[in-house]
Amino acid sequence: MNEIDLSVNIGSLKLKNPVMLASGTVGYGNEISEFTDLSKIGAIVTKSISLKPRKGNPPQRITETPSGMLNAIGLANVGVEEFITHKIPFLKKINSTLICNIAASSIEEYIECVEILETQETIKGFEINVSCPNVKEGGLIFGNDINAVGRITEKVRAKTNKPIIIKLSPNNSNISDYAEVVKKEGGDAVSAINTLVGTAFDIYSRKPKIKNITGGLSGPAIKPVALAKVLEISRKVDIPIIGIGGIFDWKDAVEFMIVGASAFQIGTVNFVNPRASLEIIEGLKKYCEETSITKISDLIASRII
């Protein structure tokens, strides 16, 4: 049997396979490279970068929930300058496709970040985070404002020819309206979904389990929600979708692609099984063999409803 073609396209971005490592779950690549061969993975999305370094939230930042976890890291990151000087050289060496995720507190900051990073050849595309639930400024304020999402897409589009992916929030109704705006303003793709706002309390101290009170829920618990959001976008808007939400193995990944995702990101699973990405690639190959699929892209939105 011929080698199965695992490659997928996200707008003008060609990935060797649909497996992407989600922003904020692999840092800048160096730690997880001790467990996995990053050159085999479709793409890596960096931890959100902001113009200036961000300290992040005080502890406690995470807590476990049934089949999931809540996090409120608060976009801790080294800032654009340090990212270029100290993180990009490593990311360049590993020979994986690098998507740079950008977070900002204002539209101007998004633009400035893109302007600075645009010249970095190693960066093959931008994922714009308009949906972080854990910071006071930016993040969800934009993610829940359809006009702001449109403006950010439009302004960033004007500054770069590299693929632009807008990471959407599930914390609103009608996610497809947001995807429509992204498409209209020249975005290449959407990622869906970012984490869901959640909380957890200790019943004896009666205090929140994380310092930020609320955090972003991720993990297998959110998979059905994420699938429904991907389906909604896929049915209503003609734009490539990167599915995210609780993918733990190749079966979850196949489900996302059938429902409508052109590629997918794995996040929380990296914490539990840092080799999951390679295991998923192998699982996808086997699935394709078993079901006589020669091109994995044939799976995309192949749902039968």
Return the active site residues: 132
Site string for another protein, 114-153 (x = CB under 8 A): ----------------------------------------
* Closest of 214, 248, 191, 208 to residue 70, by C-alpha: 214
Verify binding: residue 60, another protein, rule CB under 8 A: yes
Q: Which of 38, 41, 73, 233 binds another protein (CB under 8 A)?
A: 73
Verify binding: residue 202, another protein, rule CB under 8 A: no
d(CA 164, CA 11): 9
d(CA 243, CA 253): 8
Q: Which of 4, 9, 76, 214 binds another protein (CB under 8 A)?
A: 76
Query: Least distance in Å: CB of 84 to another protein?
Result: 18
Long-range contacts of 152-158 (CB under 8 A, 24+ apart): 152/107, 152/110, 152/128, 153/128, 153/181, 153/182, 153/185, 153/186, 153/187, 154/185, 154/186, 155/107, 155/110, 155/111, 156/110, 156/111, 156/114, 156/126, 156/128, 157/185, 157/186, 157/187
Q: Which residue's structure tokens are 């996090």?
A: 71
Q: Which residue's structure tokens are 């300058």?
A: 81
Q: Which of 1, 2, 3, 66 binds another protein (CB under 8 A)?
A: 66
Residue 11 vs 56, nearer CB to another protein: 56
Residue 118 vs 249, nearer CB to another protein: 249
Piece of 71-79, 103-111, 138-146, 279-287 that binds another protein (CB under 8 A): 71-79
Site string for another protein, 241-280 (x = CB under 8 A): -------x-------------------x-xxxxxx-----
Q: Which of 4, 11, 62, 151 binds another protein (CB under 8 A)?
A: 62
Residue 235 vs 275, nearer CB to another protein: 275
Verify binding: residue 34, another protein, rule CB under 8 A: yes
Verify binding: residue 53, another protein, rule CB under 8 A: yes
Q: Please state the φ and ψ torsions of residue 4, each to the nearest 5 degrees.
A: -75, 135
Verify binding: residue 59, another protein, rule CB under 8 A: yes
Verify binding: residue 35, another protein, rule CB under 8 A: yes
| Token code pair at residue 201 | 């309390």
Verify binding: residue 11, another protein, rule CB under 8 A: no
Query: Least distance in Å: CB of 237 to another protein?
Result: 31
Which residues contact another protein (rule: CB under 8 A)? 24-27, 31-32, 34-35, 47, 53, 55-64, 66-69, 71, 73, 76, 219-220, 248, 268, 270-275
